[in-house]
């Protein structure tokens, strides 16, 4: 058996999803409840609840209902004054500093919840619209200058330009936002936006090689992995100074999530089925039977697969009248923010034996494995 399949987590946090790091603490969620840990999960403190309807609160007791309804806090960040902004089913929520009550400050009318969220310290928090958008209507980016209390449109992609916004990341070195959009032909792109969105310019555009879900920013580079269930997917680097893009390694399927822990970049693949409406252009079939975690050393840019989790029986199950992916494609997500713990936190959805669990690993163990190989 390959060594990567034998790596054991140092702990397992059941029914907690890690969200973000802030001031040395890791914030987590369990359905609509917000928690915090200062010791990598050894002790967990309840911080407050997002206010939701009684029906949703009742359904949220059941893990399968949370999975089907996408009823977990999806993204979160803590602002300079201590407000917590969270993307949850139905819109954006805010938990003001010192409060245990989180309320919805913006309601979305299409799509289950925003999937992007970024923050410029002493500036704006921003997110972009994400829904099916078959008609290719105009797509808005919303910003908040009062730390999540109110939102307004700060930029609009015109009708036909993109399908939706995948990810937004703030770059503190260049003082700009990087935006990834999808899904096909010229819709797949990476844009650079001024901190006030007075200018938004494409830096990569066109084809599945420019289709990304999230962007990891370092001082000199951007790192992103392709998000295409119908084509070859690669972890790629983009040199901000030169605009040069390099393919570092081919990965097993589309990628949504990536993070930095220690001196390494970690990313995961989805066990995603092909999009039936579009041709398959990959040279070999993407893996729909497992989700994988890859590690890339930020100094040498050498990459290797370190973890593999088979899908559970619900991942590709569903009656004919339900759309593919009803129970979510098996994936691994990671918390946002600066991680100084020396640990890698992997939240699994749809993995056999580990659905709705966070597995905690020692980053040094993976680095020793790399050094010994």
Position 279 pLDDT exceeds 50: yes
Q: What is the CA radius of gyration of the chain?
A: 19
* 166, 180 Cβ separation under 8 angstroms: yes
> Among 2-16, 86-100, 357-371, which is the least confidently predicted range?
2-16
* 255, 303 Cβ separation under 8 angstroms: no
Which one has a higher pLDDT value, 5 or 101?
101
Report the pLDDT value the prediction gives residue 124, as an integer from 0 to 100.
97
- Domains of the chain with bracketed CATH: 3-372 (2.130.10.10)
* 325, 273 Cβ separation under 8 angstroms: yes
Position 1 pLDDT exceeds 60: no
Report the pLDDT value the prediction gives residue 321, as an integer from 0 to 100.
61
* 55, 4 Cβ separation under 8 angstroms: no
The residue-averaged pLDDT of 247-267 equals 97
What is the percentage of the chain residues whose pLDDT exceeds 70?
95
Three-state DSSP state, 65: helix
Q: pLDDT category, 313, cuts 50, 70, 90?
A: confident
Report the pLDDT value the prediction gives residue 289, as an integer from 0 to 100.
92
Q: Is the peptide bond before 183 cis (omega within 30 degrees of 0)?
A: yes
Report the pLDDT value the prediction gives residue 319, as an integer from 0 to 100.
54
Q: pLDDT category, 282, cuts 50, 70, 90?
A: confident
Q: Could you tell me which of 117, 96, 174, 110 has the C-alpha nearest to residue 139?
A: 110
Write out the two tokens for 227. 């998000």
User: HSE on the CB side for 180, CA within 13 Å?
Assistant: 28
Report the pLDDT value the prediction gives residue 373, as an integer from 0 to 100.
66
Distance (Å, whole) CA 201 – CA 190: 9
What is the percentage of the chain residues whose pLDDT exceeds 90?
82
Report the pLDDT value the prediction gives residue 322, as an integer from 0 to 100.
66
CA distances to 69, 70, 285, 341 from 109, rounded to whole Å, are: 15, 15, 36, 38
N-terminal to C-terminal alpha carbon distance within the chain: 15
Report the pLDDT value the prediction gives residue 41, as an integer from 0 to 100.
97
Report the pLDDT value the prediction gives residue 6, as an integer from 0 to 100.
59
The residue-averaged pLDDT of 154-181 equals 98
Q: In what order do the strands lie in the sheet with 164-171?
A: 164-171, 176-182, 189-193, 200-205
* 265, 334 Cβ separation under 8 angstroms: no
CA distances to 14, 60, 61, 181 from 357, rounded to whole Å, are: 4, 16, 15, 29
Q: What is the pLDDT of residues 179-210, one digit of tens each?
A: 999 999 999 999 999 999 999 999 999 999 99
Report the pLDDT value the prediction gives residue 357, as an integer from 0 to 100.
96
Position 12 pLDDT exceeds 70: yes
Q: What is the pLDDT of residues 114-144, one digit of tens each?
A: 999 999 999 999 999 999 999 999 999 999 9
The residue-averaged pLDDT of 24-42 equals 97
Report the pLDDT value the prediction gives residue 280, as an integer from 0 to 100.
85
The residue-averaged pLDDT of 65-71 equals 87
- Phi, psi (deg, nearest 5) at residue 370: -65, -40
* 46, 35 Cβ separation under 8 angstroms: yes
Question: Which segments within 277-338 are labelled E, that is strand?
Answer: 290-297, 303-310, 331-333
Helices (H), 221-325: none
Helix, strand, coil percentages (3-state) for the chain, rounded to 5, are: 10, 45, 50
The residue-averaged pLDDT of 288-293 equals 94
- Phi, psi (deg, nearest 5) at residue 320: -55, -30
Question: What average pLDDT does the chain have?
Answer: 93
Write out the two tokens for 174. 């260049």
The residue-averaged pLDDT of 173-178 equals 98
């Amino acid at each position: 058996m390959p060594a990567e399949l034998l790596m054991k987590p140092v702990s397992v946090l059941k029914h907690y999803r890690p969200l973000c790091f802030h001031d040395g603490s890791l914030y987590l969620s369990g359905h609509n409840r917000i928690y915090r840990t200062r010791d990598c999960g050894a002790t967990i403190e309840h911080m407050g609840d997002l206010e939701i309807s009684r029906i949703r609160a009742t359904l949220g007791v059941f893990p399968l209902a949370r999975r089907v309804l996408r009823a977990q806090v999806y993204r979160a960040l803590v602002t300079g004054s201590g407000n917590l902004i969270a993307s949850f089913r139905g819109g954006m929520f805010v938990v003001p500093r010192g409060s245990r009550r989180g309320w919805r400050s913006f309601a979305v009318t299409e799509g289950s919840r925003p999937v992007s969220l970024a923050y410029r310290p002493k500036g704006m928090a921003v997110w972009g619209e994400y829904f099916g958008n078959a008609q290719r209507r105009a797509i808005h980016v919303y910003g908040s200058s009062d730390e999540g209390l109110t939102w307004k449109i700060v930029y609009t992609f015109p009708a036909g330009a993109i399908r939706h916004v995948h990810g937004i990341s703030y770059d503190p070195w260049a003082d700009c936002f990087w935006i990834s959009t999808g899904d096909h032909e010229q819709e797949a792109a990476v844009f650079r936006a001024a901190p006030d969105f007075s200018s938004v310019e494409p830096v990569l555009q066109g084809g599945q090689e420019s289709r990304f879900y999230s962007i990891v920013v370092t001082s000199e580079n951007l790192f992103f992995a392709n998000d295409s269930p119908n084509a070859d997917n690669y972890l790629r680097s983009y040199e901000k100074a030169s605009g040069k893009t390099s393919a570092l390694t081919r990965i097993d399927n589309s990628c949504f999530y990536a993070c930095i822990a220690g001196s390494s970049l970690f990313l995961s693949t989805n066990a995603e089925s092909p999009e039936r409406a579009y041709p398959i252009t990959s040279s070999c079939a993407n893996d729909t039977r497992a989700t994988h975690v890859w590690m890339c050393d930020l100094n040498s840019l050498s990459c290797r697969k370190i973890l593999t989790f088979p899908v559970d029986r619900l991942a590709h199950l569903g009656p004919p009248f339900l759309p593919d992916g009803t129970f979510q494609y098996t994936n691994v997500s990671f918390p946002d923010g600066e991680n100084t713990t020396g640990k890698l936190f992997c939240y699994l959805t749809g993995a056999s034996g580990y659905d709705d669990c966070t597995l905690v690993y020692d980053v040094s163990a993976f680095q020793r494995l790399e050094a010994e190989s």
